[in-house]
Amino acid sequence: MINPAREHEWASWMRSAIAGDSRAYHKLLTAITPHLRVMARRRCDQFGAPTSEAEDVVQEVLLAIHLKRGTWDPARPLAPWISVLVRNKLINSLRRRGRQIIIPLEDVEATLASEERLSASDRMDVEQILAKLRDPQRTIVQAISIEGTSVRETANRLNMTEVAVRVSLHRALKALAALYSERAI
């Protein structure tokens, strides 16, 4: 539940943003982003989605707010409108995901790095696949999946949080899976 004073402030900033006030828009987005994260995590738990999905939902909601802010009725409260966006974006995410099986990274990170030596052709294949990723995703996949570095060590090396490294690794592996499935077709 949103504090009525906060709701009033957010709605005021949204009205100003719609009228073209970029400072008010920045204030609004900065203020609601932590709230969106909490809502997205709560909805992920509610719908049985992995919490790693929450940050993607937050980004999609922020984009939807930007694109659809003109559809918000200024005579109505802002928080319920935002809540509907969060719910809808999570449902869209779940639909895209389909019936995939999600295995938490913690369950497999110890087995990601293989002690076996790669052949020269395998190394070339790995390098070609990794070249399709941008940094820091490429570096994170290289460090964790190939070199066997822990998430914590990788986060320290890249001056990132462990959560950011895990999210980036998840997204990179998802992108690689999509690339691989396109090639297989």
27, 86 Cβ separation under 8 angstroms: no
How many Å separate Cα 10 from the centre of its chain?
Answer: 24
Model confidence at 180, pLDDT cuts 50, 70, 90, reads low
The 10s digit of each residue's pLDDT in 115-129 is 344 455 556 666 777
CA dihedral 165, 169, 175, 176 (to 10 degrees): 150
The 10s digit of each residue's pLDDT in 76-114 is 889 888 988 888 888 887 777 664 545 555 554 544 444
Residue 124: per-residue pLDDT = 63
Residue 51: per-residue pLDDT = 80
Which tokens sit at 3? 């504090």
Residues 36, 16: Cα–Cα separation, whole Å: 20
Exposure class string for 144-159: b at 16+ Cβ within 10 A, else e: bbbeebebeebbeebe
Which of 1-15, 26-40, 120-134, 164-178 has the highest mean predicted lDDT (pLDDT)?
Answer: 26-40
Q: Which of 155, 170, 176, 173 is nearest to 53 (CA)?
A: 170
